[in-house]
Structure 1
Amino acid sequence: MFTRTLAAVAALAAFTAPALADDNRGTEFRLGVTAHDLSDHVEDGPNYTIGAYFASPDFLDFIWSPRPYLYGSFNSNSLTNFGAAGLDWTFDLTENLHINVGSGISYNDGVRDIDRTAPANDPNRIRLATTRSLMGEHWLFHTTFGMDYDISETVSIGVYYEHISHGQILGNGRNQALDNAGVRIGYRFGR
């Protein structure tokens, strides 16, 4: 599952990056690590993250010039991994301090639900219910909030929170979702 998610994120990045690379406002790559599944504490292990944030194309100027992004989050214990794509808005607090708000769609390789027809004492049902977040759907919304500080013209450090769930819109029923929070380092070029 991890390999499929990574391959999907890489393919989407390779397909999208050339169309946006000529924009003089820059492209940014971010690497991070997050604490995984903060709300339920069922899944554990940190997630390693990678994101590509592209310069906002002119046709998005009317909605405050969000940056398109591609993102991957990979669990160190081979639990739920996910990839996402969406838009990220940056708001300057000072010359070097920025708030980021992102919204997009994600795909995860997690467990959708337990087999409700299995007996209550079924070992597989018990294992899944006690060790995995039950996502409800594979396609989920991806929402992020972050704060980054520019330590140079090209490098930033930051903290962020992310949430993936279907919000009873992309699915119904089970919706344990995932909440992750962590730190990241960014590198910008092409400005």
Structure 2
Amino acid sequence: MNGVIMKLLNKAAIFCLSVTALPIVAHADEIRIGIMAHGVDVPLSDVNGGKEDGVSITGEYIFDTPNWTKWTLGARPYIYGSVNLAGNTSHGGVGLNWRRSFWDRFYAEIGGGFSVHDGTKRITLPSQAELLNLTFEQRTALLALIFARRNNEIQFGSRVQFRAQGAIGYKLGDQWSAEFAYEHLSNGQILGGPENDGLDSLGLRLARTF
């Protein structure tokens, strides 16, 4: 239990330091803080939810569209972090977002990028030689532990993941907005594999524009 608490505190400290340090190196035009349901089942997604759960706290900086992204139809670079409060997988990364407004105060957003996580890449079975060196009781206990982990831990298949995200937002005023957001992590069988459990999350975010 103490190890889990220390791991969670370390994640929170890194997250807070990142949020406070970013304004020193660049002026973000938008800051978002959110709360996400971690590891949910989403219709039409190939991810099997339920292996991990809990609530994740997210923070995101979205920058003004720089000149070098003008050709990308107004894409805005972002950097984000997500800390799982239940001690499950936390992650962070960078990417690009696109936004289009509709119905006066509403807007839709999609984005893509790359994430790095601290979860499980894969859970491998021991070799036959390793199993033969164990007693029957030891083999039984080890295999039971491995299969239990496979049922309760996401096997991402690679340390780096593709991140796809989308949101529907409502402008509360000139500076504040509220969003319903979806996030998907996967290696796409390109960045790694063959394991590719992936991760889906749903939640709410509050955004402030500067």
Give the TM-score normalised by structure 2.
0.79
What is aligned with 2:101? 92
- Cα distance in structure 2, aligned partners of 1:142 and 1:5: 21
What is aligned with 2:33? 31
2:168 to 147, 152, 172: 147
Query: Following superposition of structure 1 onto structure 2, how do residues 168-187 of structure 1 map, counting pairs within 5 Å?
Result: 168-187=189-208
Q: Is the alpha carbon distance of 1:5 and 1:113 closer, same or farther for their aligned partners in structure 2, counting shifts above 3 Å?
A: farther
Q: Is the alpha carbon distance of 1:137 and 1:6 closer, same or farther for their aligned partners in structure 2, counting shifts above 3 Å?
A: farther
The reply on whether 1:117 has 2:148 as its aligned counterpart is: no
Contact 1:28 / 1:54 at 8 angstroms: preserved in 2? yes
Task: Tell me the percent identity.
Answer: 27
More displaced 10-residue stretch of structure 1: 173-182 or 87-96: 87-96
Offset of residue 101 of structure 1 = 0.5
Q: Which has the higher helix share?
A: 2
- Cα distance in structure 2, aligned partners of 1:17 and 1:93: 34
Larger radius of gyration: 2
- Residue identity in the other structure for 1:111: T
Deviations 1:29-88 (A, max 9, x none): 111111111132111111111111111112211111111111111111101000011101
- Cα distance in structure 2, aligned partners of 1:88 and 1:71: 12
Q: Is the alpha carbon distance of 1:70 and 1:56 closer, same or farther for their aligned partners in structure 2, counting shifts above 3 Å?
A: same
Give the TM-score normalised by structure 1.
0.86
More displaced 10-residue stretch of structure 1: 179-188 or 34-43: 34-43
- Cα distance in structure 1, aligned partners of 2:196 and 2:59: 25
Query: Following superposition of structure 1 onto structure 2, how do residues 95-110 of structure 1 map, counting pairs within 5 Å?
Result: 95-110=104-119
Q: CA RMSD in A?
A: 2.4
Contact 2:163 / 2:183 at 8 angstroms: preserved in 1? yes
**Unmatched runs of 5 consecutive residues or more in structure 1:** none
Number of aligned pairs? Answer: 184
